Chain A
C-alpha cells in the first residue's frame, strides 16, 4: 500500500492528507500533539527519539513476515484513528479512543472553521468527549486536523505475541474479537492459519473456511469480513444516523457509509 493519501480500503476513499506537518512532544507530560497528516510510522520515529511510543501493535507493524494489505505504519494519524483497527497490544494498552486526548477537526457544517474537542492533558472531564466519536468513524464526521495523544515511555513492556503465518493472503478472511477463554480453542482449530495477536486473546485473523464458520463456535465480541465494512448494531446505527445529521448534514464525508441498501 502506498503511504498516506493513497489508502483505499473497504472501498472507502480517504482524502489526501492535509499539508500541515507540526509536532510537539512533551516527554515529561507523556503527551504529544501532531498534525493528522503524519503517518503512524513517522510519529513513532519522532517519539522514539524522545524515549516514547504509542503502544500500537499494528496489524503487522514491525512484523517482518507480513504481506498484509495494510501496514499500520503507513496510515496517517487521521486514517489510523478513523479505521481504529484492532492491534496487537490493545488488551494491554487500549486503543485510539484511550490515547486521543483531544482533536482539532474541521466543522463539516461550517467550511473553513475548526473546532477543538477534548483537551491537551492526560485527565479532563470538561464537556462532551466528542473526540472519541472520531475514533472508528472512518472519517464520516469530517476531517481531523491535529491530534493530541497520550504517549508512553519506551520502557513499557511489549507483550505482543505474534504467531502463525505471515497473515492472510487475500481479503477472504475474518477478523474476529476473541475472548480469552476462546483463544486456545481457536488456535487449536485453525492452527497455523491463525494469527493470535495478543497473549491475552485480543484479536485473531484467520482465513474463512469454505465449509465451516468459526465465528459460530467462538462467541467473540465482534466479527467482520476483512474485506467489508463491519456492520453496526441497531443502537450504534441509530446514533450514527443522528450524528451525521448533526455533524455532517450535507453528507460530504463518506456519504455511502453504513447506508441501508
Chain B
C-alpha cells in the first residue's frame, strides 16, 4: 500500500487537498461501521461534492491499484462500509443536496449523502414521503439505503428500498459514470440496489415519493404464549390483510422496557404484537377490525387501539425503544438478522429459545414478524470467553435453522463481512460462482469495496468470528 503522503498528494491533484482527511483520529473513526467486530483502517478519507469528483477518485484509485470503499453515515450492521483492505474511504458526507423535486410526478433527485429523513421532510408539506424507514433513518443516508437495500417496520406493505429507486447515477468499478433508469430491458437498478457498494459508487438517485396514507390505525395486543402470538401473525396475513407494519416483541424485551421506561403490560404476557394498517379510511377500518378479530381468535389477554397520534406514538414505544432497553439485561447484546417464511414463525421461535437454553445464554426477540424477519438478541457478559463462544455457536445455529426452514441468512443487515462464511449455507458453489460473474458485469472490481458479499475473495482475511451479529 502506498504511503499516506502519496495518497494525499495524488488525490489532492484530483479533488483538492482540503477534501482529504487522514491521521490517527480519522483512521479510528472510519475503521468500522456499526458492526464493529471486524475493523480495518483506511489510509485516507475523501469528501467529494459531485459525481465528477467521485469519478475522478475512482479512476485514480484504479490507476494506482488502491482499494476504495464508499461510506454514508456508517450505520450499516454487517461491515459493508468497513475498508477491509484499507486504502481510500469515499465519504458521501458532502454529497448532501436535494437536486430536484418533481411533485406532479411524485419523484425527487438527491445526492447519495442526503439522510433518509431529510428526503421525507423535504416533501412532507405536500403529503408525500420516502417510504423506506430503517430504524437509523434520522442519520442513515440515501446511498447507504441503496447499498444495503434497507428495510424497516413498514417494509411489509411498502417494500424495501429497491422499488422506491427510479433511477441512479453509478460510478462503476472502472470509473465510468452510468446513468441507469427504470424502463425496458434488464433491471440494472434492482441489481445495484443491495449490492453493498461492491459494484460501484452511487452518487445520485431519483426516488419515488409515496403519498402519506390518508388514514392510519394502530393496535397492540398481549398474548399469554409466544406460539399464540406467532400463529396470530400468519392468520392475519392469511385472512387477506396486508398491514403496513406487523411487529412482535417477546417477554424478555418487554421486561427490559419495563425496567428502563416503565412500560406497562399484564404480568402473564409472553409476547406482544403491534399492528399498523393504513390507507383509505374505510378500508383501513375494515383491516384493523379484521386484525382485532384475529387477536381475539388467538387468545389475546388484552388489546388496545390508538385513538390519536399521541396514543399511536405511545403504542410504538415498545418497538422503537426495545433495543436501547436491552442494555438493562447484560453488559453485551448481539442482534442477529435472519428470515424465515412467516408461517414457520412458531417453529422458529421454539428453536431460538431451545438454542439459547442449551447454550445457557439469554435471548430476547423483537422483530418484523410480518416479513418473517427475525432479530434474536443474545445478551451476555463478553468478559467471559465461554459465554462469547456460546454466543458465536448459538448465532450460527439460529441462522442454520433459518435456512433449514427455507429462509435467508439476512433480511436487512446484509452480508458485508459478517456473514461471508454463511453464504455457503444458502447458495451452492455453483450459485456463488454465478454471482461472481454477475459482479464482473460491472467491471473487474477487486478494488471496489473488496472482501464483501462473496466469500473466498483474493487477499481477504477470514472473518474473525469473535462473535456474530451486531454488538451493542
Residues of A within 8 A of B408 (CB): 119, 121, 123-126
Q: Name the distance in Å between B81's Cβ and chain A's nearest Cβ.
A: 15
- B188→A239 contact, CB < 8 A: yes
Of all chain B residues, the one with the shortest Cβ separation from A135 is B187
Q: Are A136 and B185 in contact (CB under 8 A)?
A: yes
Do A120 and B186 form a contact, CB below 8 Å, given A128-B435, A129-B191? no
Q: Is the CB of B181 within 8 A of A120?
A: no
Residues of B396-428 whose CB lies within 8 A of A? 406-415, 419, 423, 426-428
A113-B430, A121-B406, A123-B411 in contact; A132/B441 too (CB < 8 A)? no
Contact call A122/B410, Cβ cutoff below 8 A: no
A121–B242 CA distance with the chains assembled, in angstroms: 16
- How near does chain B come to A143, taking the closest CB pair, in angstroms? 14
Q: Contacts A125-B411, A126-B408, A179-B104 given: A137-B194 contact, CB under 8 Å?
A: no
> With the chains together, A119 CA to B411 CA distance in Å?
10
A123, B160: Cβ atoms closer than 8 Å: yes
Contact residues, A142-196 vs B (CB, 8 A): 152-157, 177, 179-181
A132 touches B341 (CB 8 A): no
A31/B181 in contact, CB under 8 A: no
Q: How far is the CA of A31 from the CA of B234 in the complex (A)?
A: 12
A26-B181 in contact (CB<8A): no
Complex contacts, A152 vs chain B, CB 8 Å = 242
Q: Are A119 and B426 in contact, with the CB atoms below 8 A?
A: yes
Task: Verify if B69 is at the interface (C-beta below 8 Å from A).
Answer: no
- Cβ of A221 under 8 Å from chain B: yes
B340 proximity list for chain A (CB < 8 A) = 121
Q: Mark A232-261, 1 if CB is under 8 A from B, else 0.
A: 110110111011001100000000001000
B371 touches A (CB below 8 Å) = yes
CA distance A258 to B453 in the complex (A): 31
Cβ-based interface call for A51 (8 A): yes
Q: How many of chain A's residues have a CB under 8 angstroms from any CB in B?
A: 64
Minimum CB–CB distance from A207 to chain B (whole Å) comes to 20
Instruction: Judge whether A230 and B184 touch: CB under 8 Å.
Output: yes
Whether, in the assembled complex, B216 has its beta carbon less than 8 Å from a beta carbon of chain A, the answer is no
**Contact between B151 and A29 (Cβ–Cβ < 8 Å)?**
no
Q: A115-B434, A123-B160 are in contact. Are A29 and B342 (CB under 8 A)?
A: yes
User: B453: which A residues are within 8 A, CB to CB?
Assistant: 127-128
CB pair B185–A230 under 8 Å, yes or no, is yes
Closest Cβ neighbor of A150 among chain B residues: B159
Among B148, B155, B186, B241, the residue within 8 A (CB) of A123 is B155
Cα of A113 to Cα of B430 in the assembled complex, Å: 9
CB pair B183–A117 under 8 Å, yes or no, is no
With an 8 A cutoff between CB atoms, is B163 at the interface? Answer: yes
The answer on a CB contact under 8 Å between B339 and A124 is: yes
CB distance from A66 to the nearest CB of B (A): 22
Flag if A115 contacts B185 (CB, 8 Å). no
Contacts A222-B183, A232-B185; A132 near B191 (Cβ below 8 A): yes
Kindly state the separation between the CA atoms of A206 and B238 in the bound complex, as whole angstroms.
Answer: 40
Q: How far is the CA of A126 from the CA of B149 in the complex (A)?
A: 10
Q: Does A30 contact B (CB under 8 A)?
A: yes
Cβ-defined contact, B163 with A222, below 8 A? no
- A123 touching B371, Cβ below 8 Å: yes
**Contacts A121-B341, A127-B415, A130-B191 hold; do A29 and B372 have CB atoms under 8 A apart?**
yes
B77 CB → nearest A CB, Å = 11
Q: Which residues of A contact B105 (CB under 8 A)?
A: 179-181
* A182 to B438 alpha-carbon distance, docked (Å): 37
A136: chain B residues within 8 A (beta carbon): 184-187
Q: Is the CB of B186 within 8 A of A28?
A: no
Per-residue CB contact flags for chain B residues 177-193 toward chain A (1 = under 8 Å, else 0) read 01111111111101101
Shortest beta-carbon distance from B55 to chain A in Å: 13
Bitwise interface map of B from 52 to 95 toward A, beta carbon under 8 Å scored 1, else 0: 00000000000000000000000000000000000000000000
The 5 closest A-B pairs by CB, nearest first: A132-B190, A181-B104, A124-B408, A153-B240, A28-B343
In the complex, 10 of the A-B residue pairs with CB atoms within 8 angstroms, ordered by the A residue number, are: A26-B341, A127-B435, A129-B190, A129-B193, A129-B194, A135-B187, A221-B183, A236-B186, A239-B186, A240-B185
Further pairs besides A51-B240, A152-B242, A238-B176: 11, Cβ < 8 Å:
A28-B342, A125-B194, A125-B411, A126-B426, A128-B439, A129-B190, A136-B185, A153-B241, A239-B186, A239-B188, A242-B441
Residues of B whose CB lies within 8 Å of any CB of A are: 104-106, 148-149, 151, 155, 159-160, 162-163, 176, 178-188, 190-191, 193-195, 234, 237-238, 240-242, 283, 339-343, 368, 371-373, 406-415, 419, 423, 426-428, 430-432, 434-435, 437-443, 453-454
Give residues in A with beta carbon < 8 Å to B.
Answer: 26-31, 51, 84, 94, 97-98, 107, 109-110, 113, 115-117, 119-130, 132-137, 140-141, 152-157, 177, 179-181, 221-222, 224, 230, 232-233, 235-236, 238-240, 242-243, 246-247, 258
